[in-house]
Amino acid sequence: AQSVTQLDSHVSVSEGTPVLLRCNYSSSYSPSLFWYVQHPNKGLQLLLKYTSAATLVKGINGFEAEFKKSETSFHLTKPSAHMSDAAEYFCVVSDLSGTYKYIFGTGTRLKVLA
Amino acid sequence: NAGVTQTPKFRVLKTGQSMTLLCAQDMNHEYMYWYRQDPGMGLRLIHYSVGEGTTAKGEVPDGYNVSRLKKQNFLLGLESAAPSQTSVYFCASSYLGLSVLGTGELFFGEGSRLTVL
């Protein structure tokens, strides 16, 4: 069965410092992995996705993530945090097992300090 | 391009009342999903559909029913609302449920905030 674990429920960084949001997954098949961002009282927006092409994936707003099969990880990074990055971030996994389902992590709330 | 549209955006119900949430997508997607979001629990799948006329249960289906009579619409019904169904509901659709290219991403609506008193 597929699952996703977001290792930190809250992360605080200072503006201009790097961001690291951690995600580990479990999947019996080759997974597709996604990061979504949700700003307060808004819907979810796709940041980036991995679907078995390049292991380093670049997304919107300067975010990127690296797929590491040996570590079953898909951590989200950004070199320099901006105040507008404050939001909740979700790691999502889906796989080719034919279930058509997407499994969500419980989310990481990112706080950016001035 | 409207994408995924949910109506209504807000609703307050009394225990035992019924209601229907409507999700409409204009991207010709085959796959549609209803999730609920509760604090600290991420998004949990209620029901989903892999095509017109088909539905399937997700991880928290009890107390909900769905219908997909038209490809572009996916309705979520609460027959007898309970306070435990107070939540934010998200509809999503995707264009590649299963493919050798991997799975396509989900496109989300803005959410429907439901309060059951």
Q: What is the pLDDT along chain B (117 residues), one digit of tens a residue?
A: 679 999 999 999 999 999 999 999 999 888 999 999 998 888 999 999 988 999 999 989 999 999 999 999 999 999 999 999 999 999 999 876 555 555 688 999 999 999 999
Q: What mean pLDDT value characterizes chain A?
A: 91
Contact status of B109 with chain A (Cβ, < 8 Å): yes
The residue among B2 and A99 whose pLDDT is bigger is B2
Alpha carbons A51 and B89: distance in angstroms, whole number: 27
Flag if B101 and A90 touch (Cβ within 8 Å): no
% of residues, chain A, pLDDT over 70? 95
Flag if A96 and B42 touch (Cβ within 8 Å): no
Residue B5's alpha-carbon distances to A3, A82, B33, B74, B75, in angstroms, are: 28, 30, 13, 11, 12
Closest-CA residue of chain A to B39: A106
Q: Above 60 in pLDDT, residue A28?
A: yes
Average the pLDDT over A95-113 and give the result: 83
Q: Cβ(B30)–Cβ(B59) under 8 Å? A: no
Q: What is the pLDDT of residue A102?
A: 86
Closest-CA residue of chain A to B41: A106
DSSP one-letter string for A14-55: ETTS-EEE-EEEE-SS-EEEEEEEE-TT--EEEEEEESSS-S
- Closest to B43 (Cβ–Cβ): which among A50, A94, A104? A104
Task: Tell me the per-residue pLDDT of A36-53, one tens digit each, with 9 for 90 and over.
Answer: 999 988 899 999 998 777
B16-55 residues touching A, CB cutoff 8 A:
31, 33, 35, 40-45, 48, 50
Neighbours of B26 (CB within 10 A): 12
Q: Cβ(A69)–Cβ(A14) under 8 Å? A: no
Look at A20-29, A63-72, B64-73 and tell me which has the smallest mean pLDDT. Answer: A20-29
Flag if A51 and B98 touch (Cβ within 8 Å): no
Alpha carbons A34 and A104: distance in angstroms, whole number: 9
- Closest to B98 (Cβ–Cβ): which among A41, A43, A100? A100
Considering only CB atoms, which residues of chain A are within 8 Å of chain B? 9, 30, 32, 34, 36, 41-46, 49-52, 90, 92, 94-96, 98, 100-102, 104-107
Which of A102, A103, A106, A109 is the best mutation test for B, with the most CBs of B within 10 A? Answer: A102
Alpha carbons B105 and B76: distance in angstroms, whole number: 21
